[in-house]
Amino acid sequence: MKILVINCGSSSLKYQLIDMEGETVMAKGLCERIGIPGSRLKHEVPGKEDYVVETDLPDHSVAVKLVFDALTGEYGVVKSVDEIGAIGHRVLHGSNRFTESIIVNDEVKKVIRECFDLGPLHNPANLMGIEACEKVVPGKKNVAVFDTTFGMTLPEKAYYYAIPKEYYDKYAIRRYGFHGTSHAYVSQETIRFGGLDPEKAKVIVCHLGNGASISASIGGKAVDTSMGLTPLEGLIMGTRSGDIDGGVIQFIANHENKTVDEVLNILNKKSGVLGMTGISSDFRDIENAAEEGNHMAKVALDAFRYRVAKYIGSYVAAMNGVDAISFTAGVGENDKVTRQIVIDEYFSYLGAKIDPERNNVRGKERLISTDDSKVKIFLIPTNEELAIARDTKRLIEA
């Protein structure tokens, strides 16, 4: 069976067609600048030259139509859409209404719509992607895979905020966590690859990309995760502040004559390592600047790694132990210095030790700790598309 995975942003649409037999990518691509002048599709088929179409993409339906044309046309990989079993959609927020991925129907779409103010940047676009597929390939099953369902197993002590309970009752304000498909995939892959106990393994996953979060799970089930009601909570990120005293919001709003929305926009888009340095949200730029002697770039890197370590430490406490720590996503998979500093400088008391030679690797599944390390440390590349495709296949076959 072949599954199409779609990840819609407000002006972009990423896709992968996966053949589930060998779990191989048959084609993947990206529609950019949807609704903006200069839109285009880039379609990649392994072993072939990229196929680029520069054409007007006024909305997501036109983009989805172009994707299906690319998949079935001259540069295509299937003869007709009939070969595609179903479509899996990444959806950011499912509130506490969905504890699992689900086949889309009117009720599911209604809940995705009700969650617009919990995921204002993503949920509207995710729904547009689903509705575009319904229009372009009617009758094809669509599956919604939520970023929030991994966090649905959190115990009450981890998901309640210490605010008046009425806000939970009225609005379901609680900690949800994001990057759920990545945390679920990497924690399970850590157990499989590391030969750990599938029921009892205590695993911490550090998803360190532009957006960054950490999870603790036992037997693949989340017990805590660092993002909250929205992706703002937790680690220092490319442009997000992560944990912050709410008083800062009030202070900036009062002194700079800004609304709460404007301050939140600053905390989401202009903070993190970008805000601290004024240089860039890209960690490579920050590392280069630090090497050239820029003081705040060095501080931002130190602060980022320190926050990662503090979360790992608290999750060791949350689980009363840890069997494995896995690094994933852009920084986690590529930046050996961050991995080495986080483990060696903060967790030697646990007997955790990075093996410098094993750690000298990028983007490959590998054990990177020494043989005598008391905690196994892994690099596990994330694969959110495959996780979405697996869930989609499981649901439509059920």
| Catalytic (active site) residue 147 | yes
Angle (CA) 331-285-369 rounded to 5° is: 30
Q: Does 159 bind ligand ADP (CB under 6 A)?
A: no
Q: Does 284 bind ligand ADP (CB under 6 A)?
A: yes
Question: Of all residues in this chain, which one has the CB nearest to ligand ADP in the complex?
Answer: 330
Site for ligand ADP in 236-255 (CB under 6 A): 238
142 is in an annotated binding site: no
21 backbone dihedrals φ, ψ, rounded to 5°: -65, -50
Angle (CA) 7-8-10 rounded to 5° is: 150
Distance of closest approach, residue 282 Cβ to ligand ADP, in angstroms: 4
Q: Does 331 bind ligand ADP (CB under 6 A)?
A: yes
Distance of closest approach, residue 21 Cβ to ligand ADP, in angstroms: 27
**334, 359, 383, 392: which one binds ligand ADP (CB under 6 A):** 334
- Region from 59-67, 87-95, 121-129, 324-332 binding ligand ADP, contact rule CB under 6 A: 324-332
> Going along the chain, which residue ranges are E strands?
2-8, 13-19, 24-32, 40-44, 51-54, 84-91, 102-103, 142-146, 202-208, 212-218, 221-225, 324-328, 366-367, 376-379
210 is in an annotated binding site: yes
- Region from 13-21, 42-50, 326-334, 341-349 binding ligand ADP, contact rule CB under 6 A: 326-334
Q: Which residues neighbour 29 within 8 Å (Cβ) at sequence distance 6 or greater?
A: 14, 15, 41, 42, 43, 44, 67, 70
Distances (CA, A) of 204 to 260, 286, 311, 326: 34, 26, 10, 6
Q: Does 391 bind ligand ADP (CB under 6 A)?
A: no
390 is in an annotated binding site: no
Report whether 397 contacts 11 (CB < 8 A). Answer: no
Residue at 397: amino acid letter: E
For every residue of 216-243, DSSP letters joined together read EEETTEEEEES--SSTTSSS--SS---S
What is the rounded distance in angstroms from the CA atom of residue 235 to the CA atom of residue 212? 6
205 is in an annotated binding site: no
- Region from 33-41, 141-149, 195-203, 329-337 binding ligand ADP, contact rule CB under 6 A: 329-337
Contacts with ligand ADP, 192-221, as mask; x by CB under 6 A? -----------------xxx----------
Q: What is the DSSP letter of 208?
A: E
- Region from 1-9, 245-253, 304-312, 331-339 binding ligand ADP, contact rule CB under 6 A: 331-339
Q: Does 114 bind ligand ADP (CB under 6 A)?
A: no
The DSSP H or E segment spanning 247 is helix 246-256
177 is in an annotated binding site: no
199 is in an annotated binding site: no
Q: Report strand pairing: 24-32 vs 40-44.
A: antiparallel
- At residue 142, the 3 state secondary structure works out as strand
The residue (of 70 and 91) whose beta carbon lies closer to ligand ADP is: 91
Selecting among 147, 224, 335, 391, the annotated active-site residue is: 147
Per rule CB under 6 A, count of chain residues that contact ligand ADP: 13
Site for ligand ADP in 125-154 (CB under 6 A): none
- Residues in contact with ligand ADP by CB under 6 A are 209-211, 238, 282-284, 287, 329-331, 334-335
> What residues form the annotated binding site for substrate?
90
Residues belonging to the active site:
147
